[in-house]
Each structure stands twice: as structure tokens, then as C-alpha cells.
Amino acid sequence: MFTGIIQSVASISKITDHDAIRTFEIEFPKGFCIDLEIGASVAVDGCCLTVTELLSDTLVSFDVMIQSLRITTLGEYQQGTQVNVERAAKDGAEIGGHPLSGHIDFFTEIAEIEHIDDNFRMRVNVSKEWLRYIFPKGYIAINGASLTLAEVNKTEGWFEVWLIPETLRMTVFKDKAVGEHLNIEIERHTQVVVDTVRSTLEENLGHLLPMLEKMLEAQNQDINQLANVSEQVKLTKDISKK
């Protein structure tokens, strides 16, 4: 598990392909690899990778399968690419962001970037398949960084996040450009809630569910967001009774 708090930026030193496996040699800042062992997990731009070889105090090797290259940005990287990195969380670690698995759901492109004084706004395109799990003020992980969603437009298919100077300083986002791709991991609790409630609605409403969704859309309402809010209210009530 990871916390979504990026610890440093590392650099891909070498890439080698062999037997349908791509090996990345990554150069980490001094001190990052202290007590790191073969078999340990490191999130590289949000992708959970396993250490296969310790080449020096700062140089580490990772093997990546074809499937991971297909569904993440790892397949696009070249020698010299800068990446966000985080060591796996230890028991009792403070979760400064939100719990992440390091399993990327999809990658997508940056639609807009805007600098307003020390503020940094980034708009990201998302397909309808994944938008059902994305709500304003909720969490999302982008290249391994836990971020709060500012705006979500379900009709046009995008969401926005705002980054403070400290986040920009500690991550690769300051060097990103429109059209570049980002790894996305949605918040798991939200996914479970939405899928569970939708399954229940489909079971009880059947063919009436699409009609209900259209009626809500006409009123600028999202059935998935309503389901998520309803579940959160129920959870809060259950806790207050204990």
C-alpha cells in the first residue's frame, strides 16, 4: 500500500527489453534506497513495481510485463524520463493522502494547464466508463500523487485538480504539457460504493434504470454521485449510533 504522498522525483537511467519483459534501471536521490531490499515495492508514477536488483546505493532495477506497459504510461518512457516515486508504506505510517494500491486503472491525456500566480490548474480528459467514480471534492491519484478533485464535467468528460507550489516542487507535474499522458488510480472505496449501489438499482429497477438516469441528467444530476452521497450518509449514521 502507498499513501499518495510523493517522496521524491527519480530518473530512468536505462531501459532494456528481453523475453517480453522491459527492465527499467532507475536512479533515485541519495538516501531514498536505505534498507530497500529485493522484492520490495516502489510506486513509480503510481505503478507498483517490484525491486529485482540493487545495482548501487541509488540505482535500482525493476521488471515490467507487457500488460503493465499497455495500460500505463510506462510503455512511453525513455531514458532520462523523470518520475514520481514513493516507497511502500510501513505499518502505522501516517496516511497523508489516501490509501493507494499502486494498480493503475487507466492512463489519459492532459487537456489544459493554467498557471495563475502560484496556482497550477490541470484539466484531465476521462472516458464515461471511469467518470462514474469521479466526484468533486473526492480523491484521485494522478501519477501516484493523492489529489483532491476540484471540478468534474460529466457531459464534456473531464476533471480538474489544482496544485500548490509544494506539490509542484516535489513532483513531475511542473514539467508536464498539454497532450501528455498521466496514470490514474481511482479511489477504491468510491468504486465499491458506486458499483454496489448500481448493482442494487439494476436488480430492482431493471429496464427502468436508464430512464431514471436520463431524467436525472436532464436536471444536471448524476445517479452515481447521488448513490455515493447516500451511502456516505448511511455510514455516518451507523457510526454515530455506536
Specify whether 74 is located in the same domain as 24: yes
Nearest-angstrom CA–CA distance, 10 and 31: 12
Specify whether 214 is located in the same domain as 170: no
Q: What is the pLDDT of residues 35-54, one digit of tens each?
A: 999 999 999 999 999 999 99
Residue 160 belongs to domain spanning: 106-186
Count of other CB atoms within 10 angstroms of residue 161: 19
* Structure-model confidence comparison of residues 240 and 63, the more confident one: 63
pLDDT at res. 52? 98
Q: Does the residue 3 lie in any domain?
A: no
pLDDT at res. 227? 53
pLDDT at res. 97? 75
pTM value is: 0.82
Specify whether 151 is located in the same domain as 200: no
Q: What is the pLDDT of residues 88-128, one digit of tens each?
A: 998 766 667 788 999 999 999 999 999 988 889 999 999 98
CA 96 to chain centre: 15
The secondary element (H helix, E strand) that includes residue 10 is strand 8-18
Say which CATH number the domain at 169 has: 2.40.30.20
Q: Percent of the chain scored above 70 by pLDDT? A: 80
Burial class (CB in 10 A: 0-12, 13-18, 19+), 179: exposed
Nearest-angstrom CA–CA distance, 158 and 125: 4
For 115, the 3-state DSSP assignment is strand
pLDDT at res. 230? 45
Specify whether 61 is located in the same domain as 129: no
Tell me the pLDDT band of 239, cut-offs 50, 70 and 90.
Answer: very low
How many structural domains does the chain have? Answer: 3
Strand-by-strand arrangement of the 158-163 sheet: 145-148, 139-142, 181-186, 106-116, 119-125, 158-163, 151-153
Specify whether 144 is located in the same domain as 157: yes
DSSP per position, 42-88: EEETTEEEEEEEE-SSSEEEEEEEHHHHHHSGGGG--TT-EEEEEEP
CA distances from 122 to 45, 148, 153, 188, 227 (A): 17, 12, 13, 22, 27
pLDDT at res. 7? 96
Q: Does the residue 94 lie in any domain?
A: no
Specify whether 111 is located in the same domain as 137: yes
CA 179 to chain centre: 18
Asked whether the beta carbons of 139 and 187 are under 8 A apart, the reply is yes
- Start-to-end C-alpha separation, the chain: 29
Count of other CB atoms within 10 angstroms of residue 217: 13
Q: What is the pLDDT of residues 156-213, one digit of tens each?
A: 999 999 999 999 999 999 999 999 999 999 999 888 888 887 667 666 666 655 655 5
Nearest-angstrom CA–CA distance, 103 and 109: 18
Q: Does the residue 64 lie in any domain?
A: yes
Specify whether 176 is located in the same domain as 116: yes
